[in-house]
Amino acid sequence: MARIYPICSSSTANCTFIGTKGHGILIDDGCSFASLKNALSLIGTDIKQIEAVFITHEHIDHVKGLSVLAKNTNIPIFASEGTIGALRCGREPLPESVKLYDIFKEGYKSAEFEVTAFRTPHDTPESVGYKVDYNGTKIAVCTDLGIVTQEVQDNLLGCEAVLLESNYDEEMLRRNVNYSAPLKRRISSETGHLSNKDAAVFAEKLVKSGTTRLILGHLSRENNTPNTAFSHVCSHLQKCGLKCGSDFTLDVAPIITEGQYIALG
């Protein structure tokens, strides 16, 4: 049975496992190598049983563990051309000896997985989200986007399960005295992050298109809370006549996992 397993999800670290016990792929690697191995062990999976890693973009909360992972394993790493360029010349550049595959040019298809990328509007050279077809079950991971573009919609609508960004509460961000005005503008811009309000509106479209498993992810630890995000999205869906537990399930990805996963199928 397919499962989606958010290993870590927040404004400081992001990594998601998709697969079954003992075999799967990773979307992003924003936690330490030790934390990743420990998280995988909670679902009976070894790091050697990961067949590929797919990077959404080069921000540190998505690639913190990538360098150590590359040094200790031979797991293939996929990203967009823009992200690959940024990974080669960042603060801790990946050496040329580490092979990076362009997801748009190479694509990815194995015995059980077919992974495709779609571009997301974020303040990076070429940020992407991923759609995963796992033995016929369609799963998507989409975070770090300022707005929901047509390309995002085209790729996510109809997926059975979607991990969707619900980064900030608009009022909490407005009242946050520790954030400068330029930072607030960046977060709420069209190349920033998705608010609870925008996530709720898009969640309605997803459920009406056939999505039955919704996971809210990449929550800001300063401008959101799990209860706030959940309540906002759930309330909006209920007002639209959609029932939690029958039309859809709604979860919030944990900051760091304790072994919880969402089973599909």
**Amino acid type, 120:** T
Does the pTM surpass 0.85? The reply is yes
**258, 10 in Cβ contact below 8 A?**
no
Domains of the chain as residue ranges with CATH:
3-263 (3.60.15.10)
Query: pLDDT per residue over 23-42, tens digit each?
Result: 999 999 999 999 999 999 99
What pLDDT is recorded for position 96? 86
Query: pLDDT per residue over 145-188, tens digit each?
Result: 999 999 999 999 999 999 999 999 999 999 999 999 999 999 99
Sign of CA dihedral 40, 44, 49, 51: negative
What pLDDT is recorded for position 78? 98
DSSP string over 32-64: -HHHHHHHHHTTT--GGGEEEEE-S---HHHHT
Looking at the DSSP bridge assignments, the partners of residue 116 are: 131
- Sequence-ordered list of residues with C-beta below 8 angstroms from that of 179, at least 6 positions apart, any chain: 173, 187, 222, 223
Instruction: Reduce the DSSP state of residue 184 to 3 states and report it.
Output: helix
What pLDDT is recorded for position 92? 75
